[in-house]
Structure 1
């Protein structure tokens, strides 16, 4: 298996595990022509008791290469393919975010397991580009991701709650 496929599978495993833990359904999209790798779904009960089926699309990327990203302290700069960037900028009825998993440089550090635990080392960050102007670059766009935007079980639920309350961007 090529290294890019391994990274793709690890990013799917990362988001799938967080969703499972949070009670969020994660559907993998087989054909991601619109830069959607998966859809997160959860029924949210609003304050007045109404139920709302919230959905979020996600484009997953994974890197361990310092040639693809730079940690700037409070932000991360990442070279995203222009096609993906433009897809993420396009208006949509279902919100979409980029999920960027940053793994350690050494492949041997990515996954560790024992009979007691499975450890996946790295951190996933999210960014939304909805409403941004499309890029006319040829190959890639250097995007900035705020390091406060960590994807974990609570941030996924917070995002879906905002979508349900119609408070999302």
Structure 2
């Protein structure tokens, strides 16, 4: 086998983006003490079901459903990140009558996959960052194939934020309209 054939990617870039966003979300959920599962069939634009053992004032063992995306480019700049969703995904995420809250998580990663992680004996760093957004109750967009949504840079998807989301959910509180870690407390 030639050295050139060893350098070829094992999968195309979109498959690696999906795998990287999944690894990022799994890492956040693991640190938060949450369990992750994937639906066998993706009929509802749900990539992940994240659950917790939290006991709230209204519910126990809350679950949040998540749609994951990976956007290649530099680190975020400005106050928000724009992301274009196909209208079916947008409609599924804005549904107000689902039992479990749904959020969009967009992982920003460097353009080149070899820059996605830094690893040595002391650390494993995943680059760059993930942001979340609840679209529950957003307006219908008739006659459109896509909808651009804007994720506030305050909405960093961290273990602490995921725990706060679980607490809010178990207390029967909504995630729609919430931005930043301070509002989740």
Larger radius of gyration: 2
Q: Which residue of 2 aligns with 1:78?
A: 83
Partners in 2 of 1:94 and 1:138 — Cα distance?
Answer: 26
After TM superposition, give the deviation of residue 135 of structure 1 in Å. Answer: 2.0
From 122, 132, 144, the equivalent of 1:126 is: 132
Q: State TM-score, norm by structure 1.
A: 0.88
> How many pairs does the alignment contain?
164
Query: CA, structure 1 residues 29+129, in 2 after alignment: closer, same or farther (shift >3 Å)?
Result: same
**Unmatched segments (≥5 aa) in structure 2:** 1-10, 177-185
Partners in 2 of 1:87 and 1:132 — Cα distance?
Answer: 11
Tell me if structure 1 keeps the 8 A contact 2:131–2:153. yes
Partners in 1 of 2:161 and 2:20 — Cα distance?
Answer: 20
After TM superposition, give the deviation of residue 129 of structure 1 in Å. Answer: 0.7
Partners in 2 of 1:87 and 1:25 — Cα distance?
Answer: 23
After TM superposition, give the deviation of residue 112 of structure 1 in Å. Answer: 2.6
Partners in 2 of 1:137 and 1:107 — Cα distance?
Answer: 36
Partners in 2 of 1:15 and 1:78 — Cα distance?
Answer: 18
Query: CA, structure 1 residues 34+155, in 2 after alignment: closer, same or farther (shift >3 Å)?
Result: same
Deviations 1:61-95 (A, max 9, x none): 001048xxx95611111111221111111231111
CA RMSD of aligned residues (A): 2.1
2:159 corresponds to 1:153: yes
From 25, 32, 56, the equivalent of 2:64 is: 56
From 47, 50, 55, the equivalent of 1:37 is: 47
**Unmatched segments (≥5 aa) in structure 1:** none
